[in-house]
Chains A and B, each alone.
Chain A
Amino acid sequence: MRELARLLNDMQAAGVIENYAVFGAMAQMRYTEAVATLDADVLVAVASPERMDVLAEVYEFCARRGFRAEGEAIRVGAWPVQFVPVFSPLTREAMEQADTADFEGIPLRVVRADHLAVIALSVGRAKDYARILALLESLSVTRDEIARLAARHGLSEAWRRFEARFADD
């Protein structure tokens, strides 16, 4: 992950990406206990979003640094990394408002717990619901915070259904 942190910061400094933030399971672990995952997910805002292949410059930058493609991911150190262009106002906001954490001496941008929970709510698979419950249990986010953010992104109904199914006392 230190290698990934360096790569992302260099990529941003070189102007290949405008911004980035780690999300998904890797980000979740900042707030909860460790979870099983096969890869690291990174939200990116690319400098040239009008290109047909929006991630071409990202992959080219990685290749120049000696990081090779592995299926749909790029292997960076111990982890295959999935670069995901921001795909909604919610994911753009999550990336822009991410925290800058210290990962063993290297700054690494990571999505906040409330955004992680609401992104999980918007995706809505079983493992995403488990993520919301884990974040709530770790007290890194409250139900009110999720409700407010969900409302701003048109997800109030999804949150109401989640609460009725999983979180009602």
Chain B
Amino acid sequence: MTEIPERLKKQAQWQKSRRDLSWPEKVRLAEAIRDSLESLRRSRSGANAPRQVRRS
């Protein structure tokens, strides 16, 4: 439990460092986030696709 304040402090520093990136850097980060989300969405829709039943 004692490590929680330290972790929160580190998280706040990490958030601040992301906010301090330049605008173009943040746009590039958003591009990477978008590509990851689209890739995840594609892989999920593939995994949820109905299985083909092979008829013998």
Bound CA span A103–B22, Å: 9
Q: Who on chain B is nearest to A1 by CB?
A: B27
For B35, the closest partner residue in chain A by CB is A78
A-B contacts counted at CB < 8 A amount to 39
Contact partner, B18, options A1, A34, A38, A103, Cβ 8 Å: A34
Which stretch, A24-32, A51-59, A118-126, A148-156, touches the partner chain B?
A24-32
Q: Which listed residue, B19, B30, B33, B37, touches A138 by the CB 8 Å rule? A: B19
Interface residues on B, range: 10 to 19
A contact residues, total (Cβ < 8 Å) = 18
Q: Contacts of B21 on A, CB cut-off 8 Å?
A: 33-34
By the criterion CB–CB under 8 Å, are B24 and A34 in contact?
no
Q: Is the interface of A mostly helix, strand, loop or mixed?
A: loop
Are A1 and B33 in contact (CB-based, < 8 A)?
A: no
Chain B residues near A138: list those with CB within 8 A: 19
- In the complex, whether A36 has a CB less than 8 A from a CB of chain B is yes
Q: Given A32-B19, A33-B15, A33-B19, are A1 and B34 also a contact pair (CB < 8 Å)?
A: no
How far apart sit A32 and B29, CA to CA, in the bound complex (Å)?
13
Q: Which residue of B lies closest to A37 (CB)?
A: B30
In the complex, which residue of chain B has the Cβ closest to the Cβ of A140? B19
Query: Chain B contacts of A30 at CB under 8 A?
Result: 23, 26
Residues of chain B within 8 A (CB-CB) of A78 are: 31
Please provide the chain A residues from 60 to 110 with a CB less than 8 Å away from any CB of chain B in the complex.
Answer: 78-79, 101, 103-104
- Contact surface of A with B, Cβ cutoff 8 Å: 1, 25-26, 29-30, 32-38, 78-79, 101, 103-104, 138
